[in-house]
């Protein structure tokens, strides 16, 4: 009887839980939707990462993949590699421009359009997909028209394949047109407005997409009560990918190039394998990697190198003069044109340029000046350190004998007529392990028995 009452109570408890938490019970743990974040410039690292995550979603049997986009654009080659994977994907792909304030500009527009479904959060934008001349040189109207027409036809073709507005696709490339979510929904450029992952899942529900293998799939992501039927699995770059993607930033690339040079210069003035040299080499390697994947104007790189050389020359001339002015001018000009011809978003921020100039001045005027003084200072150890020191003849020196200086016995030779044992001598030079000495005269002795100019140095 007691067991029957327990079983009856358990059934009521489970039933009431199902009434109040329908989504939790209905959720199928086997349905996994990968959330892949695309943030920052579209570079080779981002391309490799996104393609690998799409392949992994297909391999793992993911129910769908949501690509969260916030990018100003990037490299055409990297973008086209991503498009190849997306257009042939065998897993439903959902592009989501988010969070609020995000954008899918330039290459980001192509990636967003290539997804099976496309949503935008409130206060986001899409478009401005005009190709830019990454080299900054004049390529001529004919070649520029070819590049623009090629990009426009590509985006229009993707829009036709995904059933989206083709007029906006053409204008985004040819006229650099950009729109918000409300207008995008109105003209059919996107599928809906969704400002949260839950909104995306609700918007996806019931949508039918055609996969790369020809199969049509109807998505079932929420139940009748609005509860999720899928589990979101957030994907992230590994540490190495994050590092490479982070340095592929215009400001960071510029600073790495500059800091790397300063570190190497400091190491050259302080010989040895030290921390400054190691950090300088690492910064230069990362900086040149970033420059290799960004739309770099190499004339800007040369100007930055030249500016640093001017500062080094001025360091040798010991003064703030024409070389310093030339260094500042060259450094600023190099930073300004470093990514000339690329999209404005890839330009180095003027504030960063100002900070870099100030730090460079502090480095050369303060740090390097102090390091140079230390390097030129008379050594306090070794044979050279005893030049000018006072010693005592331990034997007659006529012309050779021994002297004691700094607590050490040395062989000595003199050009004088002879020095008696016990007399004070002054070290004038050294030939290997033999000191050249002369008698110490009274006017050479300072306040503590040291030679003039070295007062305060103890006499052994």
Q: Can you tell me the distance from the alpha carbon of 96 to that of 181, in angstroms, rounded to the nearest whole number?
A: 11
pLDDT of residue 385: 66
Equal fold, 25-242 vs 383-444: no
Give me the mean pLDDT over the 263-290 stretch. Answer: 83
Write the pLDDT tens digit of every residue in 50-93: 999 999 999 999 999 999 999 988 888 899 999 999 999 999 99
Domains of the chain by residue range: 25-242, 249-376, 383-444
Task: Quote the pTM value.
Answer: 0.69
pLDDT tens digit sequence for 18-51 = 333 333 333 444 689 999 999 988 989 999 999 9
Q: Residue 180 — φ and ψ, nearest 5°?
A: -95, 180
More confident residue, 35 or 419: 35
Contact 81, 114 (CB under 8 A): no
In this structure, is the dihedral angle defined by the CA atoms of residues 41, 52, 256 and 39, taken in order, positive or negative? positive
pLDDT bin (cut points 50, 70, 90) of residue 147 is: confident
* 3 state SS of 402: strand
Note whether 114 and 158 are within 8 A (CB).
yes
3-state class percentages of the chain: helix first, strand second, coil last, to nearest 5: 50, 20, 30
Question: Is 79 within 8 Å of 42 (Cβ atoms)?
Answer: yes
3: which 2 tokens?
A: 């067991």
How far is Cα 207 from Cα 213, in angstroms, rounded to an integer?
18
**Average pLDDT, integer, range 386-407:** 84
Of 4-8, 131-135, 401-405, minimum mean pLDDT range: 4-8
CA-closest candidate to residue 274, choices 259, 263, 286, 261: 263
**11 or 426: which carries more pLDDT confidence?**
426
Q: Which CATH architecture does the domain made up of 25-242 adopt?
A: Alpha-Beta Complex (3.90)
CATH architecture group of domain 383-444: Beta Barrel (2.40)
Rounded-to-integer distance, Cα 320 and Cα 315, Å: 9
């Amino acid at each position: 009887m007691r067991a029957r009452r327990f079983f009856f109570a358990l059934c009521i408890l489970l039933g009431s839980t199902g009434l109040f938490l329908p989504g939790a019970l209905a959720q199928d743990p086997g349905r996994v939707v990968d959330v892949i974040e695309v943030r920052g410039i579209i570079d080779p690292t981002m391309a490799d990462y996104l393609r690998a995550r799409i392949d992994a979603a297909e391999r793992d049997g993911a129910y769908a993949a949501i690509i969260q986009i916030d990018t100003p654009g990037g490299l055409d080659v990297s973008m086209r590699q991503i498009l190849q994977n997306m257009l042939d994907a065998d897993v439903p792909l959902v592009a989501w421009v988010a969070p609020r304030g995000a954008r899918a500009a330039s290459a980001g527009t192509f990636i967003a359009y290539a997804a099976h479904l496309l949503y935008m959060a409130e206060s986001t934008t899409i478009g401005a997909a005009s190709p830019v001349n990454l080299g900054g040189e004049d390529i001529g109207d004919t070649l520029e028209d070819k590049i623009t027409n090629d990009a426009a036809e590509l985006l229009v073709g993707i829009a036709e394949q995904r059933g989206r507005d083709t007029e906006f696709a053409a204008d985004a490339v040819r006229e650099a047109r950009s729109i918000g979510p409300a207008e995008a929904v109105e003209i059919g450029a996107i599928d809906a407005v969704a400002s949260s992952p839950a909104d995306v899942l609700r918007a996806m529900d019931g949508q039918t997409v055609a996969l790369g293998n020809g199969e049509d799939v109807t998505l079932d992501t929420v139940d009748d009560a609005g509860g999720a039927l899928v589990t979101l699995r957030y994907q992230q770059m590994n540490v190495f990918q994050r590092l490479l993607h982070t340095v592929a930033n215009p400001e960071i690339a510029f600073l790495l190039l500059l800091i790397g040079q300063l570190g190497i210069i400091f190491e050259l003035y302080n010989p040895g394998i030290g921390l400054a040299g190691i950090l300088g080499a690492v910064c230069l390697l990362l900086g040149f990697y970033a420059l290799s994947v960004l739309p770099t104007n190499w004339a800007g790189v040369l100007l930055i190198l030249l500016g640093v050389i001017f500062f080094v020359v001025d360091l040798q001339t010991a003064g703030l003069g024409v070389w310093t002015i030339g260094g500042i001018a060259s450094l600023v000009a190099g930073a300004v044109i470093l990514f000339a011809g690329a999209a404005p978003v890839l330009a180095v921020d003027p504030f960063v340029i100002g900070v870099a100039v100030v730090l460079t001045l502090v480095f050369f005027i303060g740090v390097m000046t102090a390091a140079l003084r230390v390097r030129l200072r008379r050594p306090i150890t070794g044979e050279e350190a005893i030049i000018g020191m006072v010693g005592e003849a331990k034997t007659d020196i006529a012309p050779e004998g021994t002297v004691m200086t700094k607590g050490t016995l040395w062989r000595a030779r003199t050009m004088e007529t002879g020095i008696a044992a016990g007399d004070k001598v002054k070290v004038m030079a050294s030939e290997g392990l033999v000191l050249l000495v002369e008698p110490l005269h009274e006017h050479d002795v300072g306040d503590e028995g040291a030679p003039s100019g070295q007062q305060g140095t103890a006499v052994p």
